[in-house]
Structure 1
Amino acid sequence: MTAPPYDLLAVPHVGITFAVSGEADAVARLRQVTAPFYQPVAEPEGQVWRLTLVLAGDHAGREPADDSEPDHRVEFDAAARTLTVTCPAPRWLPVFGLRYTRTIVRTLAIAAGAVPLHGAGVDVRGVGVMLVGDKWAGKTTAAMSLVRSGSAALVSNDDVLLQETGVDWQMVGGPRSMGVRTSSLGEHRPLLRPAELLAAAQPHPAKRPSKAFLFPGGLTALGGAVRATAPAHAVVELVCRPDEPIRHEELSGRQAADVLRRYLETTADRRRLGLVEALGAPTPALTDRVVSSLVGSLRFHRFSHPVSGWVDDFLTFVRERVGLAGTAI
């Protein structure tokens, strides 16, 4: 089973290995777009999931003419730990494989006690910062600006797993694509030009007039870095208040607990519920013990900002205020 044509990709924090076979180009591409979160190994580590990527269907070998997402089919057997993804479009096939493997990884991690938060995770010179907030709060803009400014590495965008490690917590990321709104480019620091974004996003098949999509590794083309895990130290809630000036505050224990409950993801994956159900994972929940541990272990802040002209102040705020024991980072 370990010999070719399988590619073995280990996911250490959940103790599984994906044995990937099928369409050779799709297998190679999946290996590229899941790095550094899935690690190539010579021998399986932990439980083995067999993933097969099949290029088949009407117009197999052709991409959609209008850049739309093509139909695909998935078959899985959770008990046998097998997953087959079939799609006619070569560039989309590894993307669907990525999505379903992420669902498996997140579901197993949550079943083992990980806490899923809706937000971005960034390692800022050894200080793990989670950026949470509602839609349009600026999470992606803030995370990418921290990373591209040269002082941080992205752990995850739009979702973060918090795992307890003895007395501490760590952030765990995954190979989720990033959607970057073109209307926000003027706010990015350093300034992000449309041509730069489009060049970095070109390997991803998804396109919209208002948004470009990046694989995590696309950040390296923009001068950033990516890490699979990082220690967790702080949570910053971003709040967009259009008619108010920039404000920031450190939150009380009660406010921190409210933030955790507000941004807790309610499922391992909102789109692949059938696979989540087959894996038998419980609904994510925050017990009193977990809330107490997180509130006691992490620092919680709120950064309120207008629609534009706030990112420079945010970067200064993170570097000077969101450090270990109040030290600058």
Structure 2
Amino acid sequence: MTTSAPPYDLLAVPHAGITFAVRGEAGALARLRQFTAPFYQSVAEPSGQLWELNLELTDEKAGHEPSDGSEPDHRAEFDAVARTLTVTCPSPRWLPVLGLRYTRTIVRTLAIAAGSVPLHGAGIDAAGVGLILVGDKWAGKTTAALSLVRSGTAALVSNDDVLLHEVGVGWQMVGGPRSMGVRTSSLGEHRPLLHPAELRAAAGLHPAKRPDKAFLLPGALTALGGAVRATGPAHAVVELVCRPGEPVRHDELSGPQAAGVLRRYLETSADRRRLALVEALGAPAPALTDRTLASLVGSLRFHRFTHPVDGWMDGFLAFVNEHVGFEGTAA
């Protein structure tokens, strides 16, 4: 008696020239498709570089999840030469989330090796106007990005990391299926106001549970009135700076200041957590050549928006509407 082959999906990442042949339990495959859209596309035939991704539930403690909502133990085995990756864990809900983290590492590493520039920031596209928000931790990048997406016609391209690809004489933002962590303490700053019940409902698909933060998978933004886009043009960079007790202020940056911003927020690795996989892929660390730096500074506009801890979002939306050109974002 013969048995059929295990179910599999072909998920293509067009901008990276990679297709993942994903094998595993049908429910895990369905969730992975849902979690990675629109960044990965279901296809009938592979194109470009083919990777095999296996999502496997462990026999021991299968179905077990930590009671506190924390991430379960998992194992990842990979062979960069054979282009195979196997991710194993006991939780059906966590398995596709863990799997997509490793696929993102592969995609980002190879894209950076091909010349893409990784910035620690959020990318937003509003009707063809592309904005990148950069800043240190607690600067308000996620709050600002969500407010832009929910306040007007903008779509989120990427949260917390964005790849810049050179296209002709300009640059393009490329995103990926990374979850967005929203601090519950920030909800009063969001525009429109984001209520805890709304956030909890939208975050229901993500298995992580923390009292101080909710995690949104990219597609969950539609439940909050937002949209997600895989790519978008890049036109402007805004550095967010939080200065407690100081008033709202915005400045247009000079060429040397813009170059400093790019150097400051350039990611130092394709993935700071999965370093063994990055090393196995053999790609060089991200770098800004003089030519790339000159192209970015010459192609994009650079601003700095300084704000206090509270009560700054209306001023930020008005600033973006006037100085960046995002229609319909003024509060």
TM-score (norm 1): 0.96
Deviations 1:307-329 (A, max 9, x none): 011101101111111139xxx99
| Counterpart check, 1:129 vs 2:131 | yes
Percent of residue pairs bearing the same amino acid type? 81
Shift in Å at residue 150 of structure 1? 2.6
- Do the aligned partners of 2:55 and 2:88 also contact (CA within 8 Å) in 1? yes
Instruction: Name 1:71's counterpart in structure 2.
Output: 73
Instruction: Name 2:177's counterpart in structure 1.
Output: 175
Shift in Å at residue 46 of structure 1? 0.7
Give SS of 1:224's match.
coil
Q: What is the identity, as a one-letter code, of the residue corresponding to 1:47? A: Q
Aligned equivalent of 2:258, options 243, 256, 259 = 256
Instruction: Name 1:294's counterpart in structure 2.
Output: 296
Q: What is the identity, as a one-letter code, of the residue corresponding to 1:42? A: A
- Do the aligned partners of 1:57 and 1:87 also contact (CA within 8 Å) in 2? no
Q: What is the identity, as a one-letter code, of the residue corresponding to 2:102? A: Y
Instruction: Name 1:105's counterpart in structure 2.
Output: 107
Instruction: Name 1:309's counterpart in structure 2.
Output: 311
Q: What is the identity, as a one-letter code, of the residue corresponding to 2:64? A: R
Q: What is the identity, as a one-letter code, of the residue corresponding to 1:255? A: Q
User: Quick one: distance in 1 between partners of 2:177 and 2:208?
Assistant: 15
User: Quick one: distance in 1 between partners of 2:59 and 2:321?
Assistant: 51
- Do the aligned partners of 2:6 and 2:24 also contact (CA within 8 Å) in 1? no
1:1-329 to 2 correspondences below 5 Å: 5-323=7-325
Deviations 1:169-228 (A, max 9, x none): 000000001000000000000000000000000110011111000101110010000000
Q: What is the identity, as a one-letter code, of the residue corresponding to 2:203? A: A
Q: Which runs of 5+ in 1 are unaligned?
A: none
- Do the aligned partners of 1:54 and 1:86 also contact (CA within 8 Å) in 2? yes
Q: Which runs of 5+ in 2 are unaligned?
A: none
- Do the aligned partners of 1:150 and 1:223 also contact (CA within 8 Å) in 2? no
Deviations 1:228-286 (A, max 9, x none): 00000000000001111000011000000000000000000000000000001101000
User: Quick one: distance in 2 between partners of 1:196 and 1:230?
Assistant: 27
RMSD: 1.3
User: Quick one: distance in 1 between partners of 2:144 and 2:302?
Assistant: 16
- Do the aligned partners of 1:104 and 1:276 also contact (CA within 8 Å) in 2? yes
Shift in Å at residue 58 of structure 1? 2.8
Give SS of 1:206's match.
coil
- Do the aligned partners of 1:156 and 1:174 also contact (CA within 8 Å) in 2? yes
Shift in Å at residue 57 of structure 1? 4.3
Q: What is the identity, as a one-letter code, of the residue corresponding to 1:70? A: P
- Structure 1 stretches of 4+ moved >2 Å: none
- Do the aligned partners of 1:51 and 1:83 also contact (CA within 8 Å) in 2? yes
User: Quick one: distance in 2 between partners of 1:126 and 1:310?
Assistant: 26
Give SS of 2:273's match.
coil
Deviations 1:67-115 (A, max 9, x none): 1210001110000100000000110000100100000000010000000
- Do the aligned partners of 1:17 and 1:49 also contact (CA within 8 Å) in 2? yes
Deviations 1:281-311 (A, max 9, x none): 1010001100000000000000000001110
Shift in Å at residue 4 of structure 1? 6.8
TM-score (norm 2): 0.96
User: Quick one: distance in 1 between partners of 2:37 and 2:128?
Assistant: 20
